[in-house]
Amino acid sequence: MISFPILTMLVLVPTAGSILVAVFSNRRPEFVKLTALLTSVLTGGLSVWVLVAFDKANADFQFVTKHIWIKPWGISWHLGVDGISLFLVVLTGVIFPIVIAGTDPHHDTKRYLSWMLLLEAGLMGSFLSLDLFLFFVFFEIVLVPMYFLIAGWGYEGRVYAATKFFLFTMVGSAFMLVGIIATAFLAKGNGPLTFDLIELAKADFAASTGRWLFFAFAVAFAVKVPIFPLHTWLPDAHTQAPTGGSVILAGVMLKLGTYGLLRFGVFLFPEAARWSRSLWLTLGVIGIIYGAIAATMQKDLKRLVAYSSVAHLGFIVLGIFAMTSQSITGGVMQNINHGVSTGALFLLVGMIYERRHTRQISELKGLQKVAPIFAGVFMVVMLSSIGVPGLNGFVGEYLVLIGSFLTARWWAVVAASGVILAALYLLWAYQRVFHGEPDEANKDFGELKLREAAVMLPLLGVIVFTGLYPKPMLDRIEPSVKKLIEHVSEKTSYTDPQPVGVAP
């Protein structure tokens, strides 16, 4: 284990970069972007360092940093990473330099990049926090930059979309704050007050108390996922956000909801999670089907991709609450796969808008004839989102479905139809946009540029490599998932079922 406080640096480096960018003079915008890019690259390099140094055989939290912050309240600067959070940290570290290098804000670059780096710091802190109060601070920090990114650099309906996003998230956060404080005080007993996640997970709450506390947390995370019917802010936010904001929102920020349900919901309140699992399984499956049907009906290409997120995140919720090692491992992996594939889709849709200044499917036709390389890249990303074998989307969805079939059979059967519907809306959209003869407006559609290719290449590499060889990811995720299942078993006398022929 290294003594260097690398997890603290993952938070402080983008924070310092955000402040530095904010105080730069507008007279030298090239220095502003270079500083932001170097800061994000450094953060990404640190996240890759964590990945390389991570002990895949160790299911415990690693690279732990713990310092007392507010002693009378038992609040500490407590950071750690395990297999469940590892790849979310790496995804955050890698996707921000791609977004900063591959997108332009068109105005007020300095403020845009400053908010971007602060957003990265908040996301890193959220995925690394092992103190509930510290997690809440970072969870709220994330909200502010995303609000300003949507409202300041979005499209025509940006203020409405940003306000709706802010209000939905703030209401959910209010429930979580009450839940955090109540959990800490109810677990206190005769001992000292603490917000430490690991210590609070050892507490035994009465069944009714645990259920109320669980739902206080779950409401906040359900809004962030978002789970049906709390999803209505998402299509508006995605559609009106600038391309960079949409990529971060889909690629990383939505994962706060699914990660929170697993890390703080299931881990802290396993009995309540088991008791209410039918509700969450049902809402997850409804989200899969509803999101797919709604995506099929969309006329705006970006809004179609936004609704596809509702469907894909429903699979992750299904995997979490099926509560088998296979389904949860698949859900954790699908968190990453969705971030890569959907983030890439939003980048490509942004490139289309830059060329044509429209996202209306009816106004796009025959792009494959004039930009075959662009069409080929779009096809690979689209197929990964569908879940075609050999690409990353297949692995996570397969594990979720096979694991869910053991404990949530009929939910899994219905959810499987979502894979078919995903093929329907994505292939149909691709056919309408890229096939046929281009009309006059589309004949000058530009081919993929060198900078755009450089931005897409690492995402395509992850899509193909993970699809063909997921073992490095699975080896690091599975030990922590199995430890979580063991914790649930200890608290609820639950036994993890195994597929026939697989030893426990």
Helix (H) or strand (E) holding 68: strand 62-70
3-state secondary structure 139-194: HHHHHHHHHHHHHHHCCCCHHHHHHHHHHHHHHHHHHHHHHHHHHHHHHHCCCCCC
pLDDT of residue 503: 38
The packing angle between helices 109-128 and 132-153, to 10°, is 160
Q: What is the pLDDT of residues 346-400, one digit of tens each?
A: 999 999 998 888 889 988 888 999 899 999 999 999 999 998 999 998 998 999 9
Q: What is the pLDDT of residues 311-339, one digit of tens each?
A: 899 999 999 999 999 999 999 999 999 99
Q: What is the pLDDT of residues 449-495, one digit of tens each?
A: 999 999 999 999 999 999 999 999 999 999 999 999 998 888 887 66
Q: Are 316 and 403 in contact (CB under 8 A)?
A: no
Q: Is the pTM of this model over 0.85?
A: yes
What six digits make up the tokens of 260? 């929170």
Q: What is the rounded CA–CA span in Å between residue 339 and residue 88? A: 9
pLDDT of residue 99: 93
Q: What is the rounded CA–CA span in Å between residue 429 and residue 52? A: 39
Q: Are 102 and 351 in contact (CB under 8 A)?
A: no
Question: Where along the chain do its domains lie?
Answer: 276-495
One-letter amino acid for residue 39 of the chain: T
Spacing of C-alpha 157 from chain mean position: 24
End-to-end CA distance of the chain: 29
pLDDT of residue 309: 87
What is the percent of the chain with per-residue pLDDT over 90, rounded to a whole number? 64
pLDDT tier, 499 (very low <50, low <70, confident <90, very high otherwise): low
Phi-psi region of 192 (alpha: psi -120 to 50; beta: other; left: phi over 0): beta
**What residues pair up with 78 in beta bridges, in sequence order?**
66
pLDDT tier, 504 (very low <50, low <70, confident <90, very high otherwise): very low
Q: What is the rounded CA–CA span in Å between residue 332 and residue 313? A: 11
Strands 62-70 and 75-81: antiparallel
pLDDT tier, 496 (very low <50, low <70, confident <90, very high otherwise): low
Using CA atoms of 482, 486, 488, 491 in order, give the dihedral in degrees to the nearest 10: -170
Choice among 107-111, 135-139, 140-144, 280-284 with the minimum mean pLDDT: 107-111
Q: What is the rounded CA–CA span in Å between residue 74 and residue 194? A: 4
